Amino acid sequence: MKNLKLAAGRADFSRSVIDVSGVKIGGEFVVIAGPCSVESEEQTVRTAIAVKKAGAKMLRGGAFKPRTSPYAFQGLGLKGLKILDKARKETGLPIVTEVVDTRDVSWVGEYADVLQIGARNMQNFSLLREVGKSGKPILLKRGMYSTLEEWLNCAEYILAEGNPNVLLCERGIRTFETYTRNTLDLSMIPAVRKESHLPIFIDPSHGTGILSMIEPMSLAALVAGVDGLEIEVHIDPSCALSDKDQQLSPAQFERLMKKLEATRLFMLELDDKIDSGEMAPTEAKDRGAGGRQGSFPEDAGRGGRKDRMVDDSSGGAAPDRSEIGHFKDSVD
């Protein structure tokens, strides 16, 4: 893809692993969960304890909320960050929280383990430069009107400041469809894996805005090769001050986590069966298996799905990038 120097896929197909307090983003399947907004200490700490128990590896929560209406709840600001700090101390979960203003980056960074750039700020270039300078891990959401190429160029802004710690998060785009809050573009999972070495996350909460769609979209994302999910969970969703219709209860989240783990293990077993030839020849042939290639063409030579299990098994020939790339050059 034109103009990408640092965000583009590497010649050896290796992918970035970002270490956030021992959580290996890009190296293991990671679920980030927590409330849309930090509302109170009790709500945040109780939610943090519940998501940790269910298997989440990181806690999310907004202290600065970019809202459509200036009269809607805007977040607790510094007080919210202090609550997140308390929740981290209680659970050990690293914190993901949004920063919306260049002037806030350094002090918000003192509380956050990962700074989130929201969809509405994806192309706020001065903010991107500032978080680039901070050196903190950055979760960069896709803008709701942005192409993959624009999104990766925004990652490039951060990387160009000398900060290699960028993870991407697809959160749905605006299309003519109004049934869902946004149209969750799961095709970005293989697209990012093909075009970039950066980890790719999916946010099914903002991506659909519909509670019953969070589980199927999460499972689909996992099967499609996602590195992780960002999911909104609230201790009492009906009382939430923002996004109350899309936040899972702890019980719903626990059930989802069980299904995700079962699916992850099933997919690994499937790869093993194909690789070992245990699968009936016709089934293996139908799936185009041959050699240890995993389920993704671009994984050839990297041990497939197991590259996310920190497994260094390898084999198979790496395809020529020109053969698998299908993106047109951009017009500046």
What is the rounded distance in angstroms from the CA atom of residue 25 to the CA atom of residue 163? 15
Q: Which does 118 bind (CB under 5 to 8 A by kind): Mn ion, ligand PEP, none?
A: ligand PEP
Q: Which stretch binds ligand PEP (CB under 6 A): 85-93, 118-126, 153-161, 324-332?
A: 118-126
Two tokens, residue 175: 């299309």
Q: How many residues bind Mn ion (CB under 5 A)?
A: 2
CA proximity to 38, closest of 121, 137, 111, 124: 111
Please report whether residue 62 would count as binding ligand PEP according to CB under 6 A.
yes
Residue 230 interacts with Mn ion (CB under 5 A): yes or no: no
From the list 14-22, 104-112, 113-121, 311-319, the region that binds ligand PEP by CB under 6 A is 113-121
Q: Coil, helix or strand for 261? A: helix
* Amino acid, single-letter form, for residue 116: Q
117/142 Cα distance (integer angstroms): 9
Query: Can you tell me which of 1, 36, 83, 99 binds Mn ion, judged by CB under 5 A?
Result: 36
158: contact with Mn ion by CB under 5 A: no
Half-sphere exposure of 278 (CA within 13 A, CB side): 7
For residue 38, state whether it binds Mn ion (rule: CB under 5 A).
Answer: no
C-alpha span between 8 and 156 (Å, rounded): 9
Which residue, 242 or 293, has its beta carbon nearer to ligand PEP? 242
Determine the Cα angle at 233 with ends 59 and 243, to 5°. Answer: 115
Number of residues interacting with ligand PEP: please give it, by CB under 6 A.
10
**Smallest distance from the beta carbon of 1 to ligand PEP, in angstroms?**
23
141 binds ligand PEP (CB under 6 A): yes
- For the packed helices 148-160 and 125-134, what is the interaxial angle rounded to 10 degrees? 40
Residues that bind ligand PEP (CB under 6 A): 36, 62, 98, 118-120, 141, 171, 203, 206
